Amino acid sequence: SFRDDDFAFTELKNGWGVLVVSDGAGSAPYARKGAALACKAIIDYFVEHFNDEVNRELESVIVDFERNRASAKSPLATATPYLSAAALNAHQSVANFAANVNKSIDDFHATLSFVLITQLEHCYAFFSFSVGDGPIALLDKQLGWVKPLNQLDVGAYGGGTRFITMPEIFEPSNFQNRFNFELTSALPYVFLMTDGIFDPKFEVEANLNNIEKWKIFMDDLKGANEERIDALDSNKPDHLAKWTNFWSPGNHDDRTLLILS
């Protein structure tokens, strides 16, 4: 049946936050379970392993980088072992479940995108990982700039995306490009979405860099749509879910949209 997406988010004890989205492949019979397992595994990893020592280590390199970007150690280099361990935990969680029920891991194919976020004294830091065709982006609240945090895995044909369930994702030649880091002085909007939102609203990956496209998207979210639904009305939390019911010819994929504002 429909609805193979999943998502999760949490605030860790040391002040970091985690946002996760996964889109189960429509061609995989147990993709919904794969997506759920992947999201849970990311949260579980950071809750268990992102302790005060890791927090101090990362905060130190971020502060040094914020003060002197030219000579400081890259925060991404410090964070990548933890981000990669979280991604591997997601893969292994699905693989273990598949083995336990005597199924192929391919039956659980799912994309995976997550962002690790913290606020320091003078800045906000964002670390990301993704595999698949789900965009992650930071958007200035004054709509002056947009910064995509990942490159999409999109093929020239249907089904050309990649999944966290594929062992080849972890090959060094491909894996390191899946991580990203950004630093901002003020808190922007943070967006994670599956292709059910991306395809009808942005159409092609290049538009994720186009601030005019994001202005149209924000107007849409704020009520410039046929149903006049203000999806960002904090007094009506069900409006975002209602907004995702928009009609778009030929676009019938599952729709998940996480917004940190």
Confidence of residue 1 (pLDDT cuts 50, 70, 90): low
Average pLDDT over residues 163-178: 92
10: CB partners within 8 A, 6+ apart: 17, 18, 43, 46, 47
Identify the pLDDT of residue 173.
83
Are the CB atoms for 66 and 122 separated by under 8 Å? yes
Q: Find how far residue 56's CA is from the centre of its chain.
A: 24
Identify the pLDDT of residue 161.
83
Are the CB atoms for 42 and 93 separated by under 8 Å? no
Confidence of residue 7 (pLDDT cuts 50, 70, 90): very high
Give the DSSP per-residue string, 207-230.
Answer: GGG-HHHHHHHHHHHTT-STT---
Report the chain's mean pLDDT, rounded to a whole number.
94
Confidence of residue 159 (pLDDT cuts 50, 70, 90): low
* Percent of the chain with pLDDT strictly greater than 90: 86
Write out pLDDT tens, residues 189-234. Answer: 999 999 999 999 999 999 999 999 999 999 999 999 999 999 999 8
Average pLDDT over residues 6-24: 96
- Strand segments (E) across 132-224: 136-139, 146-148, 179-184, 189-193
Confidence of residue 253 (pLDDT cuts 50, 70, 90): confident
